[in-house]
Amino acid sequence: MHYLTVSKAAQSEYVVSRSRFIGYIKPIDSVESADGFVDEIRALHPQARHNVYAYCVRTPVYTRFSDDGEPQGTAGKPVLDVLKNALLTDVCLVVTRYFGGILLGTGGLVRAYSHTASLAAEAAGIVRMRSCAVYELKLDYTLYGGLQRLLPRFEASVGQTDFSQQITMDVCLPLENEAGFLKAVAELSLGKVHPQRTGERFCAAETEKSGE
């Protein structure tokens, strides 16, 4: 199981016919965090004419957008379409507009909001999150180097690590690599290391090409 989201918060800017469009994008995990991000951007730009937004939440599945005073269908929906076309979820995108005194027309607004949203998504980078198993490993220092060389073979990443009398470390790896990893650890340690499965979570895989 996997999904796409943005790897980090980012910002973009686009100026057309003296109107300034500023895009803000951020990974979120709930409706509450999305609404909080929208409020944060509004507070940052109290003098702006519009703070248009769109967001998609993965669990439970929910999408929302707002034109924030722009003509219906010219702002929030184009921003949401950028997220949907890139198959992004758990993400919120706000586009702030400072009006430059020249009307852009409906087509011009759609293009400006879509372009600003695309620039923001591109700046943030898109990452694929996939289901991963999490293990706790306890091992002697003599095995540490060998384990470090083993991890890339199974696309495993290391989380919290405690260096005391023994090394205790959390390892996260894709579910499909789980059996192979356990076998390799057993061979490396001659059966002395017994990884304890502590749960599952979504972890970042390779960065994807962002949608335009």
Q: For residue 32, what is the domain's CATH number?
A: 3.30.230.30
CA–CA separation, 57 vs 36, rounded Å? 14
Q: Is the bond preceding residue 60 a cis peptide, omega within 30 degrees?
A: yes
* pLDDT on residue 212: 36
Low-confidence ranges of the chain (pLDDT < 50): 207, 209-212
**Are residues 81 and 12 part of one domain?**
yes
> The whole model's pTM is what?
0.81
Q: What is the pLDDT of residues 172-185, one digit of tens each?
A: 999 999 999 999 99
**Are residues 138 and 81 part of one domain?**
no
* pLDDT on residue 153: 94
Q: For residue 136, what is the domain's CATH number?
A: 3.30.70.240
CA–CA separation, 6 vs 142, rounded Å? 38
**Are residues 142 and 108 part of one domain?**
no
**Are residues 54 and 109 part of one domain?**
yes
**Are residues 32 and 102 part of one domain?**
yes
**Are residues 138 and 111 part of one domain?**
no
* pLDDT on residue 203: 86
The number of folded domains in the chain is 2
Tokens 């949608």 -> residue: 211
β pairing state of 2-6 and 62-66: unpaired
* pLDDT on residue 206: 53
* pLDDT on residue 52: 98
Decide which of 109, 124, 139 is a domain's last residue.
124
Decide which of 91, 124, 157 is a domain's last residue.
124
* Domain span holding position 8: 2-124
Dihedral Cα 67, 69, 74, 80, nearest 10 deg: -10
Decide which of 97, 124, 151 is a domain's last residue.
124
* pLDDT on residue 178: 95
Q: What is the pLDDT of residues 6-33, one digit of tens each?
A: 999 999 999 999 999 999 999 999 999 9
